């Protein structure tokens, strides 16, 4: 059976105050979608930051419901920040079968929709089917798969132009006490997953035209992001959202106008979790 998981579709931060988080990311120079309201049963809403091939999502909880009890507990126990990676699949039901035959456990196949405000003032519907990897398959954070059943109402052209010149996901970085072992466990969740060593950890390639996942030891992670408050990152989740930008000078002008402090990294500049809803955002020029 062919492995059905093709790369990273998007990732999301679970945040304590959705509108405050949206304000922070707008200040970083991102164009955000209108607020998307989920069902009463989900009790949540989101903003998306769209790129041509992938995207980033801010997810907030509006009211307790039986379906979001686990996410409220995640916020309480681990703190807000970059909690989840969503993977590319063509068909959620076919993926469930294929992954089972490959010995990879999944759960919670679900179909859902949310309304979308379209540029012409009309309303549309964004429809998805999702399938989660079982917790025992995922060394840290949450990973699931996302089938888009209405791409045209998610990838809206007006949302792809960002004042900070952002172009797409460049990578995700996490702390791990056992980065090499965790990298191997993550790699098997993608069809083209592969591991290569890096100083202090390992890098997982996730597929063609797809952001990599880097696992670093705590010491290596703290050294790479010296000067940033790594203690404010969520525990047991992902830590750094890496974003490609087309023009670093334009980015720095946007951040300077918003009075957002930056720290120089080996690959670009980063903003600390106090200014990005519990996530380090590292901007990498391309």
In the three-class reduction of DSSP (H, G, I as helix; E, B as strand; rest coil), residue 220 is classed as helix
Q: Where are the domains of the chain?
A: 8-159, 166-285
Tell me the mean pLDDT in the region 256-278.
98
Report the range of poorest mean pLDDT among 8-17, 63-72, 109-118: 109-118
User: pTM for the complete prediction?
Assistant: 0.96
pLDDT in tens, 75-99: 999 999 999 999 999 999 999 999 9
Q: Rounded distance, CA 147 to CA 127, Å?
A: 9
C-alpha of 148 from chain center: 16
Which strands form 240-245's sheet, in the order they lie side by side? 194-198, 201-205, 213-216, 166-175, 240-245, 280-285, 269-271, 263-264
- Return the C-alpha torsion angle 283, 167, 188, 104, nearest 10: 120
* C-alpha atoms less than 13 angstroms from C-alpha of 214 in its C-beta half-sphere: 19
Tell me the mean pLDDT in the region 249-270.
98
Tell the burial category of 172 from Cβ atoms under 10 Å away from its Cβ (0-12, 13-18, 19+).
buried
Q: 7 with 207: CB under 8 angstroms?
A: yes
Residue 255: which of 240, 229, 276, 241 has the closest Cα?
Answer: 276
CATH class of the domain defined by 166-285: alpha beta
Residue 1 has pLDDT above 80, yes or no: no
121 confidence band (pLDDT: 50, 70, 90): confident
Residues near 73 by Cβ (< 8 Å), separated by ≥ 6? Answer: none
Bridge partners of residue 151, in order along the sequence:
none
- Look up residue 26 and give its two tokens: 């707008």
Question: Is the fold of 8-159 the same as that of 166-285?
Answer: yes
Bridge partners of residue 241, in order along the sequence:
172, 281
Give the pLDDT score at 87.
98
Task: Specify the DSSP element, H or E, that contains 8.
Answer: strand 8-15
Please provide residue 283's backbone torsions phi and psi, each rounded to the nearest 5 degrees. -95, 125
Q: 65 with 43: CB under 8 angstroms?
A: yes
Bridge partners of residue 171, in order along the sequence:
242
CATH topology of domain 8-159: 2,3-Dihydroxybiphenyl 1,2-Dioxygenase; domain 1 (3.10.180)
pLDDT in tens, 199-249: 999 999 999 999 999 999 999 999 999 999 999 999 999 999 999 999 999
How does strand 8-15 pair with strand 55-61?
parallel
Please provide residue 216's backbone torsions phi and psi, each rounded to the nearest 5 degrees. -125, 145
Q: 16 with 58: CB under 8 angstroms?
A: no
Tell me the mean pLDDT in the region 180-187.
98
282 confidence band (pLDDT: 50, 70, 90): very high
């Amino acid at each position: 059976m062919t492995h059905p998981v093709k790369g990273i579709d998007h990732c999301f931060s679970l945040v304590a105050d959705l509108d405050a988080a949206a304000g922070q990311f707008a200040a970083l120079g991102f164009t955000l979608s209108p607020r998307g309201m989920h069902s009463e049963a989900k009790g949540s809403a989101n903003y998306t930051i769209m790129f041509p091939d992938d995207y980033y999502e801010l997810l907030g909880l509006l009211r307790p419901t039986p379906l979001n009890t686990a996410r409220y507990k995640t916020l309480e126990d681990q703190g807000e920040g970059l909690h989840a990676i969503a993977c590319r699949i063509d068909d959620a039901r076919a993926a469930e079968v294929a992954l089972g035959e490959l010995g990879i456990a999944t759960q919670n196949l679900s179909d859902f929709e949310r309304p979308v405000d379209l540029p012409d003032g009309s309303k549309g519907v964004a429809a998805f089917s999702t399938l989660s990897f079982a917790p025992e398959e995922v060394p840290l954070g949450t990973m699931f798969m996302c089938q888009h059943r209405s791409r045209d109402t998610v990838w809206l052209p007006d949302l792809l132009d960002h004042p900070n010149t952002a172009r797409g996901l460049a990578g995700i970085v996490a702390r791990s006490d056992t980065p090499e072992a965790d990298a191997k466990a993550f790699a098997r969740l993608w069809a083209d997953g592969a591991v290569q060593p890096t100083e202090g950890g390992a890098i997982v390639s996730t597929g063609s035209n797809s952001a990599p996942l880097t696992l670093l030891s705590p010491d290596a992670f703290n050294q790479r992001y010296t000067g940033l408050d790594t203690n404010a990152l969520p525990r047991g989740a992902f830590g750094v959202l890496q974003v490609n930008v087309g023009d670093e000078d334009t980015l720095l002008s946007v951040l300077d106008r918003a009075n957002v402090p930056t720290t120089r990294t080996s690959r670009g500049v980063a903003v600390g979790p106090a200014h990005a809803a519990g996530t380090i955002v590292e901007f990498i020029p391309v």
